[in-house]
Amino acid sequence: MKIMKNRIILVMLAAILPFISGCSDYLDKRPDDQLDIESAFENSKNLDRWLAYIYDGIPQFYGDSNWDMIGKDCTTPAEWISVGNNVCNYQTGNWTPSNGQIINYWSNLPKRIRSAYIFIENAHPLTDVSQKDIDIMKAECEFFIAYFHSLMVMTYGSVPIISEAAPTTNAEDLMIKQRPFYEVVDWCAEKLEEASKVLPMTYSDMANDYGRATALWALAMRARLLTFAASPLVNGNPDMAGVVNCDGEAIFTSQYDPYRWKLAADANKELIDVAEANGYALYEADAVEGQPDPYMSYFGALMLRRNEGNYELIMPRTEDGAGWLDMKSAPRSIQSQAGVVGVTQDLVDAFFMNNGKVAISGHNADGSPIIPNNGSGYTEAAFGEAPQASDYSTVDMTAKTNYFYNDPNGYSGDGKKEHIITESGTYNMYCNREPRFYISVMYNESFNWAKTHKDQTAANPVNKKYANFFVGQEDGKDGSDYPTAGYLMKKRIAPDYLGSSSSGQFNKRHGAIYRLAEAYLAYAECLYEYSISDEIGEYDSYKQEITENINKIRRRAGIPEYGSAELGDIDAAAAAAGLTARDLIRRERRIELNCEGGLSWQDLRRWKLAETELNGPFYGMNMDAGTPEEFYVRTEYQRRVFKSYWWPVPQDDIDRNPNLRQLPGW
């Protein structure tokens, strides 16, 4: 018994032992796989990774819920609200500083800016990274700091300058103040110019480094920013006079300054000169039988990569969400959830005729189109009435192009590349329009540009296929997914989309953040606005240069240039349509850059036209109709309410930072 007891005591002592011996280090654990700031910058791969996060702040060019959708070019179904898509709320003015922001620059970009500052503070040469490499990388960071600030200042108007990575969480480091608009603009412009001097024109390892910031990126973003900063919204806008920051400093100046246009014109000119000197040019596809192919040229300018011959693209976002928009813009018969991102009647009406003339110069209050008597040849059914037989074309319209319009084999009849663009029987509205129209808009009963139908099998080739937007039909209204205004977006959508999100067939494609065409158009506009102003008054001496730049775009688009026999000079062409040269410069820009990453929405703001253009009824074809007679009738599908030119600072930050002021109207 005694022995037993002793044994038990021994066992118990053994049980205590680990407590006595192991106490000190039992909890002494720390993760062995974590980097800190210092160690992260010791590895060259990590430098790229650090930059990858910063680059990822470039706004997506493709998307179904961004600025494109709240401008005047694009549509999405109202029913999307129920699936959490906020776009419709923005379209109808139902938005506040605290409900889901579809543009989240305020919350997203400061993170990238902070990351860029941390990179600049910490990056240093490594065995496999030279000082020069580091200098370029730091210049990339400087570029992004300025570029992201420029995005914010163009969006929110009144923003702070983030000048460092806040070292602590103390209030004095965090509660920064908004700065006057031009102070931010000029700060960004200067930084961009500096970055352009360090950044290379191109990278040698294009397989890996294509898509890294170049000097042209910096010049392009500077030109875009300065053009914005010269525009009526911020240049002499009396409506913004009372906006002040927390110290009572005025954010905007209400005095108009024409030299802002000069500044912008110079920046655009510099961009054009440097770009052209380095081999950049508007993309032009190979000619077909000796004739230019404007269809493939306009298509390729956005869709083709540099190694496919597209030297127009200045700033690509090499990774972008193209596949999603491909799906959303393909007719629904391709796949469910598709066939929803469309364009508006207003955009359809904006396109020129094939003869380069204005088809519709504007709209009356009731939505009826104003068809000028300028010999454009445009006709449509009387407003509000069903189309008659005479409102349909009687002949095929053809063009020489490599684009596979009505014939998937690329050839028709005698083997010539003579393609049918519109067949006889097409509603007149869609006949004889300029090539860019057919690349941009999928209208009802047009040839469906999906090369293959989803039901296509070897036994059942469904080669020829037409969009069918009639109610209840395979691409038409039946539930909540349908082309709201009677059109689908066709531009920047891959024609070979086959549609299956699960099978990984999403297209991967760069986004065209900036292409040279914008520079020509902006340059023309800046020169015009500068020269026409009362203070300068030198329009006549600049007119030649203005038209030349516009004509570069028209030439590529395959329509007559201003100064030609059909059109006369730009003022004459404008007068014939009851418009002004400014209207035509703007119209050229709208058509050329339609549906491109929100540029047209940006333009409506900058021109201070959004309050009228984005307010009131929006029209489309009648989606509740089952026959052409009912369908091709202009029908109101939505009433838009314009709320504000400026995006609101998120309410959360107004609450958190007592030094921030919300812009009026929120």
- Contacts with another protein in 24-53 (CB under 8 A)? 26-31, 33-37, 40, 45-46, 48-53
- Greatest CA separation for the chain: 124
CA atoms of 588 and 406, how far apart (whole Å): 28
CA atoms of 533 and 539, how far apart (whole Å): 8
- Binders in 50-69 for another protein, by CB under 8 A: 50-53, 55-56
Is 94 one of the binding residues for another protein (CB under 8 A)? yes
Is 19 one of the binding residues for another protein (CB under 8 A)? yes
Q: Which one among 335, 432, 547, 602 touches another protein, defined by CB under 8 A?
A: 335
SS3 500: coil
Nearer to another protein, 51 or 221 (CB): 51
Full 3-state SS string of 225-258: HHHHHHCCCCCCCHHHCCCECCCCCECCCCCCCC
- Binders in 601-640 for another protein, by CB under 8 A: 624
- Binders in 513-532 for another protein, by CB under 8 A: none
Strands 441-443 and 487-489: antiparallel
Is 416 one of the binding residues for another protein (CB under 8 A)? no
Is 458 one of the binding residues for another protein (CB under 8 A)? no
Q: Which one among 157, 160, 300, 483 touches another protein, defined by CB under 8 A?
A: 160
Q: Which one among 237, 253, 254, 318 touches another protein, defined by CB under 8 A?
A: 318
- Helix 516-532 to helix 215-230 angle, to the nearest 10 degrees? 30
Is 474 one of the binding residues for another protein (CB under 8 A)? yes
Is 88 one of the binding residues for another protein (CB under 8 A)? yes
CA atoms of 61 and 45, how far apart (whole Å): 27
CA atoms of 78 and 66, how far apart (whole Å): 15
- Binders in 484-503 for another protein, by CB under 8 A: 500
SS3 315: strand
Is 510 one of the binding residues for another protein (CB under 8 A)? yes
Nearer to another protein, 334 or 517 (CB): 334
Nearer to another protein, 114 or 582 (CB): 114
- Binders in 190-249 for another protein, by CB under 8 A: 206-212
Q: Which one among 44, 114, 133, 398 touches another protein, defined by CB under 8 A?
A: 114
Q: Which residues lie across from 427 on neighbouring strands? A: 392
Torsion (CA) 480, 485, 489, 490 in degrees, nearest 10: 120
CB 570 within 8 A of CB 581: yes
How far apart are CB 23 and another protein at their closest, in Å?
7
DSSP H helices, 278-316, are 294-303
How far apart are CB 661 and another protein at their closest, in Å?
12
Nearer to another protein, 39 or 388 (CB): 39
Q: What contacts 181, CB < 8 A, 6 or more positions away?
A: 153, 157, 158, 229, 234, 251, 252, 253
CB 475 within 8 A of CB 469: yes
CA atoms of 491 and 347, how far apart (whole Å): 12
Nearer to another protein, 255 or 307 (CB): 307
Nearest to 418 by CA among 449, 448, 396, 446: 396
Q: What φ, ψ does residue 330 adopt, rounded to 5°?
A: -80, 150
Mark 276-305 with x for binding to another protein (rule: CB under 8 A) and - for no binding. -----------------------------x
Is 92 one of the binding residues for another protein (CB under 8 A)? yes
Nearer to another protein, 152 or 527 (CB): 152
How far apart are CB 477 and another protein at their closest, in Å?
10
Q: Binding residues for another protein, how many (CB under 8 A)? A: 105
CA atoms of 552 and 283, how far apart (whole Å): 11
Nearer to another protein, 40 or 129 (CB): 40
Of 94-102, 353-361, 420-428, 535-543, the segment contacting another protein by CB under 8 A is 94-102
Mark 357-396 with x for binding to another protein (rule: CB under 8 A) and - for no binding. ----------------------------------------
CB 337 within 8 A of CB 481: yes
Angle at 17 between CA 11 and CA 20, to 5 degrees: 155
Where do we find the tokens 């066939």?
339
Q: Which one among 72, 112, 552, 589 touches another protein, defined by CB under 8 A?
A: 112
Is 111 one of the binding residues for another protein (CB under 8 A)? yes
How far apart are CB 572 and another protein at their closest, in Å?
39
Q: Which one among 479, 504, 535, 540 touches another protein, defined by CB under 8 A?
A: 479
- Sign of the alpha-carbon dihedral angle for 367, 373, 377, 380: positive
Of 158-166, 375-383, 521-529, 552-560, the segment contacting another protein by CB under 8 A is 158-166
- Binders in 165-184 for another protein, by CB under 8 A: 165-166, 169, 173-176
Of 21-29, 323-331, 431-439, 522-530, the segment contacting another protein by CB under 8 A is 21-29
CA atoms of 301 and 312, how far apart (whole Å): 6
Is 156 one of the binding residues for another protein (CB under 8 A)? no
CA atoms of 408 and 447, how far apart (whole Å): 11
How far apart are CB 607 and another protein at their closest, in Å?
24
Nearer to another protein, 132 or 639 (CB): 639
CB 326 within 8 A of CB 340: no
How far apart are CB 429 and another protein at their closest, in Å?
25
Q: What is the DSSP string of 557-579?
A: HTSPPTTBTTTBSHHHHHHHTT-
Give the burial string for 205-217 (b: 16+ CB within 10 Å, else e).
eeeeebbbbbbbb
End-to-end CA distance of the chain: 88
CA atoms of 87 and 76, how far apart (whole Å): 8
How far apart are CB 599 and another protein at their closest, in Å?
23
Q: Which one among 98, 278, 388, 394 touches another protein, defined by CB under 8 A?
A: 98
Q: Which one among 392, 630, 653, 662 touches another protein, defined by CB under 8 A?
A: 653
Is 464 one of the binding residues for another protein (CB under 8 A)? no
How far apart are CB 333 and another protein at their closest, in Å?
6
